[in-house]
């Protein structure tokens, strides 16, 4: 009888101790979640604000405007941010798409986002596109220039803040009960909980991203579709990046027009002048390196090469 009583008292004491620890942990998680939720939301909004300001800054740079200001970005409602400018703006549709894809990562915004450009005077939408995390993107009016005017650009994120329960303690009740019984059992059998670290020996090896490659005086970043020249960043559209990639693959050699036109096959419509237009735009973007040129081989194709400059 004394043995049974002693055993019962022993396990009861361990159960009480385990219960106390479990309750303490539940209270800790409840308090911590109530303090961290607002801080996380505020930080996410500030980070997105900075990214959108950078998009505005680069749009002005690409337009050759290095003096006017990007006005403060405002969150007009939850998950919708408004970008405005001090002066009128002219921009390329593909550049706005490329900047958004480069800076607004789908990893950070898996639910995607919509970008709409509004006329300042009447608020009408004059251009827009949508990036989706799980379905095909909607990219309208590519390859066009937006004429100079007063514009407001809005970035809308359908799921910007993670939704959390109003009463976190309710969501923790089930896990708390399991935690209570587990801790009591472990204290009764082993005296303290031991954490295994064996799984740390198997580190996840991530495949490295491709490094930018040298292209004359430039660095060519095919992953993010852009060129670097010192501190200057030049954004490329999908087709510009594909064309330049093919030309660079055959650097110094002829790349036939038929090879370059393969880029348009998925669209079902192939217009020869489209290739010439994109070549012209690439020449302009590569003009900072006068030794780098795209030579037209009449009736055959194009050749990306270096040409020595003579004084």
Q: Kindly report, residue by residue over 211-229, the tens digit of the pLDDT.
A: 788 888 899 999 999 999 9
Based on the fold, state whether residues 172 and 257 are members of the same structural domain: no
Q: What is the mean pLDDT of residues 8-15?
A: 54
**DSSP 8-class letter at 85:** B
Query: Residue 82: CA atoms inside 13 Å, Cβ hemisphere, count?
Result: 15
Is residue 141 pLDDT above 90, yes or no? no
**How remote is the C-alpha of 174 from its chain's centroid?**
36
Based on the fold, state whether residues 273 and 222 are members of the same structural domain: yes
User: Rounded distance, CA 56 to CA 34, Å?
Assistant: 35
Is residue 50 pLDDT above 70, yes or no? yes
Query: What is the strand order of the sheet 138-139 is part of?
Result: 74-77, 80-83, 151-156, 113-119, 125-131, 138-139
pLDDT value, residue 101: 86
pLDDT value, residue 55: 93
Q: What pLDDT digit, counting tens, does each position of 237-265 carry? A: 999 999 999 999 999 999 999 888 888 77
Residue 206 lies in a domain: no
Residue 113 lies in a domain: yes
Based on the fold, state whether residues 164 and 231 are members of the same structural domain: no
Q: How many domains does the chain have?
A: 2
196 — pLDDT class (breaks 50, 70, 90) = very low
Based on the fold, state whether residues 104 and 221 are members of the same structural domain: no
Query: Residue 212: CA atoms inside 13 Å, Cβ hemisphere, count?
Result: 16
Residue 208 lies in a domain: no
Based on the fold, state whether residues 166 and 260 are members of the same structural domain: no
Share of the chain above pLDDT 70, in %: 66
Residue 212, burial from CB neighbour count under 10 angstroms (0-12, 13-18, 19+): middle
Q: What is the mean pLDDT of residues 279-287?
A: 93
Query: What is the strand order of the sheet 254-256 is part of?
Result: 254-256, 301-306, 292-297
Based on the fold, state whether residues 64 and 111 are members of the same structural domain: yes
Residue 296 lies in a domain: yes
Of 166, 194, 222, the one marking the end of a domain is 194
- For residue 304, the tally of other CB atoms under 10 A from its CB is 24
pLDDT value, residue 295: 92
Q: Is 154:133 a contact under the CB 8 Å cutoff?
A: no
Mean per-residue pLDDT of the chain: 78
pLDDT value, residue 221: 92
Q: Is 304:250 a contact under the CB 8 Å cutoff?
A: yes
Based on the fold, state whether residues 155 and 219 are members of the same structural domain: no
pTM over 0.75: no
Q: Provide CB contacts within 8 A for 141, sequence distance 6+.
A: 93, 127
Is residue 233 pLDDT above 50, yes or no? yes
pLDDT value, residue 296: 92
Q: What pLDDT digit, counting tens, does each position of 62-85 carry? A: 888 889 999 999 999 988 999 999
94: closest CA among 220, 210, 229, 242? 242
pLDDT value, residue 208: 62
> Parallel, antiparallel, or unpaired: how do β-strands 292-297 and 301-306 relate?
antiparallel
Residue 302 lies in a domain: yes
Based on the fold, state whether residues 39 and 172 are members of the same structural domain: yes
User: Rounded distance, CA 235 to CA 274, Å?
Assistant: 19
Give the bridge partners for 130, in sequence order: 114, 138
pLDDT value, residue 195: 45
Based on the fold, state whether residues 236 and 294 are members of the same structural domain: yes
Q: What pLDDT digit, counting tens, does each position of 84-133 carry? A: 999 998 888 888 988 888 888 766 787 889 999 999 989 899 999 888 86
Query: What is the strand order of the sheet 213-215 is part of?
Result: 213-215, 218-221, 226-229, 232-235
Residue 293 lies in a domain: yes
Element (H, E) at 102: helix 93-103
User: Which CATH number fits the domain that encloses residue 246?
Assistant: 1.10.10.10
Share of the chain above pLDDT 90, in %: 32
Is residue 204 pLDDT above 80, yes or no? no
Based on the fold, state whether residues 222 and 74 are members of the same structural domain: no
pLDDT value, residue 185: 61
Q: Provide CB contacts within 8 A for 233, sequence distance 6+.
A: 58, 226, 227
* Full domain range(s) for residue 168: 1-194
Residue 202 lies in a domain: no
């Amino acid at each position: 009888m004394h043995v049974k009583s002693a055993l019962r008292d022993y396990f009861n004491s361990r159960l009480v101790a385990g219960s106390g620890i479990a309750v303490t942990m539940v209270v800790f998680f409840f308090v911590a979640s109530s303090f961290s939720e607002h801080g996380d939301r505020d930080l996410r909004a500030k980070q997105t604000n900075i990214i959108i300001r950078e998009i505005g800054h680069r749009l002005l740079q690409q337009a050759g405007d290095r003096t006017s200001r990007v006005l403060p970005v405002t969150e007009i409602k939850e998950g919708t941010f408004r970008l405005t400018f001090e002066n009128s703006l002219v921009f390329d549709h593909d550049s706005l798409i490329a900047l958004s894809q480069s800076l607004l990562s789908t990893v950070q915004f898996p639910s995607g986002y919509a970008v709409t450009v509004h006329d300042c005077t009447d608020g009408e939408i004059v251009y827009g596109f949508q990036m989706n995390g799980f379905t095909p993107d909607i990219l309208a009016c590519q390859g066009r220039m937006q004429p100079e005017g007063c514009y407001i650009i809005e970035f809308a994120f359908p799921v910007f803040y993670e939704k959390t329960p109003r009463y976190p303690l309710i969501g923790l009740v089930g896990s708390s009960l399991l935690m209570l019984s587990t801790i009591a059992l472990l204290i009764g059998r082993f005296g303290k909980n031991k954490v295994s670290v064996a799984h740390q020996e198997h580190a996840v090896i991530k495949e490295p991203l491709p490094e930018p490659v040298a292209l004359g005086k430039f660095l060519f970043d095919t992953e993010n579709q852009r060129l670097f020249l010192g501190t200057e960043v030049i954004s490329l559209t999908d087709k510009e990046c594909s064309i330049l990639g093919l030309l660079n693959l055959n650097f110094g050699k002829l790349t036939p027009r038929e090879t370059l036109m393969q880029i348009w096959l998925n669209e079902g419509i192939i217009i020869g002048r489209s290739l010439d237009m994109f070549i012209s735009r690439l020449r302009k973007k590569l003009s900072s390196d006068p030794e780098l040129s795209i030579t037209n081989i009449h009736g055959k194709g194009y050749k990306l090469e270096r040409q020595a400059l003579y004084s």
